[in-house]
Amino acid sequence: MRNGKILAENDPATMMREHDASSLEEVFLKLCRQELILNDYGDEDLPEDDKFHSEKSEYRLFQSTSFKWDRVLAYSMKSFTWMKRNIALVLFTLLLPIVQCTLISLTVGEDPRGLKLGVVNDEVLDNDDTNGTECFSNTPLSREFLDILHGKGMIWVDYPSLEAAHLAARENNVWGVAYFNQNYSSFVFERLKKGQKASELAINGSEVIAWLDMSSQIIGKIVKQRIEETALELFFQVIKSCNFSTTPPGSLAKEQAVFGTLNLSFRQFMTPANAVLFTFYLPMMFTLGAMLMEKTSGLFERSLVAGLTLLEVAIGHIILQMTILIAQLVCMMIVLYCIFENHIVGSSIPWCILFLLFVGVCGMFYGLFVAALCDSFTTASCLAIGSYFPLFMLSGAIWPLEGMNPILRVVSTFFPVTSSVEAYRSISVRSWSIAYPAVYVSVISLTFWTLFFGVLTAVLVKWKTPKN
C-alpha cells in the first residue's frame, strides 16, 4: 500500500517470485517505481518494453557509481544516532576493556603469596636460641633464614619430625619440607669464614635440605627460587656483618638490565600480549555486531538501494569503529599503565598507540569479513570465538614462542596477532621504533591482513547482493 492505494496483494513468497526480488522491500520499490511511470503514461500508453525496462532497472536507477562524502557523512550520522539510542551497548563496549584489563592485572601474572612450607628445625631445641654466630646475631641462622623467607611471602609451619612434615606434604597441607640440621649456624659460619678451605662436613651441613611438591610446576619453581634467594641473601648479610672476603656459593653479579628491569613479573610479560589481543578482539566483535544488526534488520540493503556504494558504507563504518577504538584504547592504556603501573618506556607511548591502532583496524576488517560471511549472530559468534582461541594460544601471550612446537611456531608467524605481540612488546619495553625489523615486519603483516580481509569482504558482499 502506498498513499492509501493498494499496489499489489498476494503472499510474500509469490510476490518476490513474480517480481524477481529477494526481499519485500525490493518488491515495494519496484511497485512504487512502476506506479510513477504509469501515472506519467497511463496504463494504455505505456509500451510493453518500457514496462519491462522500468521493472528491471529501477533498482539500478537508485544506485550511484560515484563516491560522495555527503553520503558517507549521512551514513555516519545514522550510525552515531543509532549509538545514542543504544547507550547500554555503548557503555558495555567502553567498560569491557576496563573490566578485562582489571581482571587480568589482578588475577594473572603476580607471584603467589601465602605459600606454606613445612619446616623441621633441629637447630632450635627446647627454645634454645643461643646457636647464633658471634659477629652476626644471637639467634640461630635458621631463624634468620625463616624470617627472610617469610618476608618473601612464604608461611613456614614447624613440625617435630621429618615423618610428620612429609605426611603434611602428601596431604597437600604444605608445598614442601625444609630441614635444618642441629649445627646449621656454626657450619654456615665456618664455610663463609674459611671459603674453599672449609671441611666437607661444614659444606654439607650449611645446606638446607628441601623436598618440594612439584605437582604444580609454577608454584614448585617459585618455592625453590625463594629458598635459593633466601640462602644467598642470608649469606650476603653474614659476609657483610662479619667482614668476610668470601664469595657466597652460586652467587651471581647482576648488573643493570639491557631492556626492562630485573624484577619484572609474569603479569608484565603478559601485558603487551593482552593489549594486542584486546585491541584486535574488541573492535572485531563490535564491528561484527553492528554489521549483522544492519543485515538482519534490512538497513544494509536499504542503504545500498538508497544509492550508497560499498566503499561509502565501509568508510562510514570505519569512522564509527575508529571512534570506538580510540575510546577503548584510552581506557585500556589508563588501566594497564597508569593504574597498575605495568612497565612501559615513556618515549615509546606514541609508537605504542599508533601500533595498537593498526592492530585495531585489522581486527575491525576481520569483523567485517565475518559479518559478510555469516547471516546470523549465532554462526558469526561461533566463528569469531572459535578463531580467537587459536590466535590466543599461538600468539606467544602465555608462553614464549621459543617453547612452541617448531611446526606450529612457523605456522603462527603468518597469523596477524603473533608478530604483533612481539612487536608491541619490543616497542613498549625496548623502545624500538618502526625502523627495527621486528616492528616493521609486523606492520607489513597487519597491512596485508587488513587488505586481505577488505578484499574478501567486498567480494562476499557483491556475491551475496542480488543482481537486478
pLDDT, one tens digit per residue, over 59-115 is 443 445 577 888 888 888 888 888 888 888 888 888 988 998 999 888 887 788 899
Residue 104 near residue 270 (C-beta atoms within 8 A): yes
Q: Which of 283, 300, 265, 258 is nearest to 432 (CA)?
A: 258
With a CB cutoff of 8 Å and minimum separation 6, the contacts of 40 are none
Identify the DSSP state of 63: -
pLDDT at 37: 58
Q: Where do the H-state alpha helices sit in 210-298?
A: 217-242, 266-297
Residue 55 has pLDDT above 80, yes or no: no
Q: Are residues 138 and 213 in the same domain?
A: yes
Residue 422 to residues 174, 399, 404, 441, Cα–Cα distance (Å) = 38, 12, 14, 11
Nearest to 365 by CA among 414, 413, 300, 315: 315
Domain identity same for 170 and 96: no
Residues in the chain, how many?
468
> Which range of residues forms the domain containing residue 34?
12-61
> Given a cut of 90, is residue 236 above it in pLDDT?
no
Find the mean pLDDT for residues 384-405: 86
Among 69, 79, 82, residue whose Cα is nearest residue 322: 79
Long-range contacts of 228-232 (CB under 8 A, 24+ apart): 229/152, 230/145, 230/148, 230/149, 230/152, 231/145
**Per the structure block, which three cell numbers stand in for 203?**
659444606
Please check whether residues 168 and 219 belong to one and the same domain. yes
The answer to whether residues 312 and 370 belong to one domain is yes
**pLDDT greater than 70 at residue 349:** yes
Place of cell 623436598: 211
- Picking from 388, 437, 440, the residue whose alpha carbon sits closest to that of residue 417 is 388
| E strand segments, 146-252 | 154-158, 176-180, 209-212
From 181, 209, 242, give the residue that closes a domain.
242
Dist CA 207 CA 179 (whole Å): 9
- For the ranges 38-47, 176-185, 188-197, 303-312, the lowest mean pLDDT is seen at 38-47
Q: What is the pLDDT of residue 102?
A: 92
96-100, 160-164, 292-296, 431-435: segment of lowest average pLDDT:
292-296
Q: Starting from the edge strand earliest in sequence, which strands make up the sheet with 209-212, in order?
A: 154-158, 115-121, 176-180, 209-212
Do residue 414 and residue 339 come from a single domain?
Answer: yes
CB–CB of 395/311 below 8 Å?
A: no
How much is the average pLDDT of 145-168? 93
As for how many domains the chain has, the answer is 3
Query: Residue 436 in 3-state DSSP?
Result: coil
Is residue 303 located within the same domain as residue 212?
A: no
Mean pLDDT over 12-26 rounds to 81
Q: Does 257 map to a domain?
A: no
Question: Would you give the DSSP letter of residue 2?
Answer: B
Q: Residue-wise over 138-165: b if at least 16 C-beta within 10 A, else e?
A: ebbbbbbbbebbeebebebeebeeeeeb
- Domain-located, residue 4: no
Regarding whether 119 and 35 lie in a shared domain, the answer is no
Q: Do 78 and 94 share a domain, yes or no?
A: yes
Indicate if the pLDDT at residue 254 is higher than 80: no
Greater model confidence, 12 or 4: 12
Distance CA 185, CA 235 (A): 11
In this model, does residue 401 exceed pLDDT 90? no
pLDDT bucket at 134, cuts 50 / 70 / 90: low
The pLDDT of 221-229, averaged and rounded, is: 92
Grid cell for residue 136: 652476626
| Mean per-residue pLDDT of the chain | 83
The residue among 243 and 334 whose pLDDT is bigger is 334
Q: For residue 42, is pLDDT > 50?
A: no
Residues 365-386: what's their mean pLDDT? 89
Q: Looking at the structure, tell me whether residues 120 and 82 fall in a common domain.
A: no
pLDDT at residue 396, as a whole number:
84
Query: What's the confidence (pLDDT) of residue 173?
Result: 94
Question: For residue 129, is pLDDT > 80?
Answer: no
Lowest-pLDDT range, 72-86, 236-250, 322-336, 449-463? 236-250
Residue 178 lies in a domain: yes
Residue 2: band (very low, low, confident or very high) from pLDDT cuts 50, 70, 90: low
Which of 106-110, 231-235, 334-338 comes out lowest in average pLDDT?
106-110
Indicate the DSSP class of residue 138. Answer: S
In-domain check, residue 77: yes
What is the reported pLDDT for 8? 79
Mean of pLDDT values over 120-143: 70
pLDDT band, very low/low/confident/very high, at 402 (cuts 50, 70, 90): confident
Question: Could you tell me the pLDDT band of residue 56, with boundaries at 50, 70 and 90?
Answer: very low
312 in the same domain as 173: no
Distance (Å, whole) CA 268 – CA 425: 10
Residue 57 is predicted with a pLDDT of: 41
- Looking at 39-43, 54-58, 271-275, 448-452, which range is the least confident one? 54-58
Confidence band of 26 (pLDDT split at 50, 70, 90): confident
pLDDT over 80 (residue 456): yes
Task: Please state the rounded mean pLDDT for residues 399-420.
Answer: 88
CB 162 within 8 A of CB 222: no
Do 340 and 440 lie in one domain? The reply is yes
Residues 55 and 78 in one domain: no
How much is the average pLDDT of 337-345? 87
- DSSP reduced 3-state for 177: strand
Domain of 121, CATH number, reads 3.40.1710
- Segment 25-30 mean pLDDT: 81
The three cell numbers locating residue 337: 599503565
In a domain, 164, yes or no: yes
Answer whether residue 290 shows pLDDT above 60: yes
Structural domain contains residue 205 = yes
Rounded mean pLDDT of 318-347? 89
304 falls within a domain: yes
pLDDT level of residue 50 (50, 70, 90 thresholds): very low
Least confident segment among 38-47, 99-108, 118-127, 190-199? 38-47
For residue 227, the model assigns a pLDDT of 93
Is residue 253 assigned to a domain? no
